[in-house]
Amino acid sequence: MEQLSYAAGTIVTGVFGCVAWFWGSNLILDWVWPSRGPHAGRNILRANMVRPWLFIGPAILFLAVYLVYPVFDSIWRSLHDAGGRTWVGLGNYRWLAADAKFRESILNNLLWLLVVPAASTFFGLLAAQLTDRIRWGNVAKSFIFMPMAISFVGAGVIWKFIYDYRAEGQEQIGLLNAVWTALGHPPETWLTIPFWNNFFLMAVLIWIQTGFAMVILSAALRGIPEETIEAAILDGANPWQLFFRIKVPQIWGTIAVVWTTITITVLKIFDIVFVMTNGQWGTQVLANLMYDWMFRGAPDYGRGSAIALVIMALVTPIMVWNIRNARREMM
């Protein structure tokens, strides 16, 4: 109940705080430069020059405090020891290069990058195409999109029950083991099976991100000019040719944006791994490794910051490319 009160208070404070800021700043601006009187024209011009900065000013301030400052602080910490007092130079980065868990995390992140964006985009595109062709398509879209409303932690808990294990002879409450044992096999501890357990974790993120991909790609498919589709049909194109040779090439830019957006999410993946395996049994990823070094046991902020900067270095180029590509799509 206490947490619910805090959450409700935060929402109310945030919403009314924003309303009060915009209303109050406009009121003060109109008082300083009134739109009436002998200098009305000059006052309106000055007010219009200042007004946008009143709106974006808080956002710039919060970005500076919560984004820019942490970057420089992380760089400084990554060049110091665990306590941040002794200069070690590139020592933390040399440790990363030699650490087995870091190499495991890099390989697992690469595996996630190969599977999750491709699978999520594919299933999203498939769902977008199929749901547009059926009468109850909007209902189907709602169900497919619903996992997007669930937090990664909540999704991890749900899927942990799906993979749940009970000893042989006991009733299996995990859906996967219930089906598996019904087929005559002994129950499995799915999340402890090396290598394959990574794919069981990826299924959770694919389940979540498919709805996102479906919504974006469905809008792109509906934006395809009807003339090109009708011309292809008149030329004798079958449904497969119509989809792969006519529709997909025209939305390739949107597919790329969806793919790279999911890629950024994958590079930062933490919650699902943390909740379901905590990086054990060969499932460690970069974000969870960073958390382990920064907040578990005796914190080592130097090594944790070095891992954080590796994640940032991987995410930033993709994010920049994604923004540029989105701008080109809008032009």
For residues 254 and 220, the answer to whether their CB atoms sit within 8 Å is: yes
Q: Would you state the pLDDT for residue 115?
A: 94
Indicate the burial class of 293 (C-beta count within 10 angstroms; 0-12, 13-18, 19 or more).
buried
* Number of residues that make up the chain: 331
Residues of the chain with CATH 1.10.3720.10: 94-330
Q: Shortest CA distance to 148 belongs to which of 248, 253, 265?
A: 265
Q: Shortest CA distance to 128 belongs to which of 46, 36, 224, 41?
A: 224
Q: Max CA-CA distance within the chain? A: 90
CATH domain 94-330 topology:
MetI-like fold (1.10.3720)
Q: Would you state the pLDDT for residue 330?
A: 65
Indicate the burial class of 33 (C-beta count within 10 angstroms; 0-12, 13-18, 19 or more).
buried
CA–CA separation, 265 and 309 (whole Å): 16
Q: What is the pTM of this model?
A: 0.80
Q: Indicate the SS3 state at residue 156.
A: helix
* Residues whose CB is less than 8 angstroms from the CB of residue 296 and which lie 6 or more positions away in sequence, other chains included: none
Q: Would you state the pLDDT for residue 40?
A: 73
CA–CA separation, 211 and 148 (whole Å): 7
pLDDT tens for the chain, residues 1 to 331 = 677 888 788 888 888 888 888 888 888 888 877 877 777 778 778 878 888 888 888 888 888 888 888 888 889 988 988 877 888 888 889 998 898 999 999 999 999 999 999 999 999 999 888 887 777 878 888 888 898 888 889 999 999 999 998 888 788 888 898 899 888 888 889 999 989 999 999 999 999 999 999 999 988 888 888 888 888 888 777 878 888 888 888 888 888 889 888 998 898 889 999 999 988 898 999 999 999 888 887 788 888 999 999 988 888 888 888 777 767 766 6
H/E run at residue 45 = helix 40-63
Q: Would you state the pLDDT for residue 124?
A: 92
Residue with tokens 């130097």, as numbered in its chain: 302
Q: Shortest CA distance to 280 belongs to which of 152, 95, 104, 162?
A: 104
Q: Would you state the pLDDT for residue 264?
A: 86
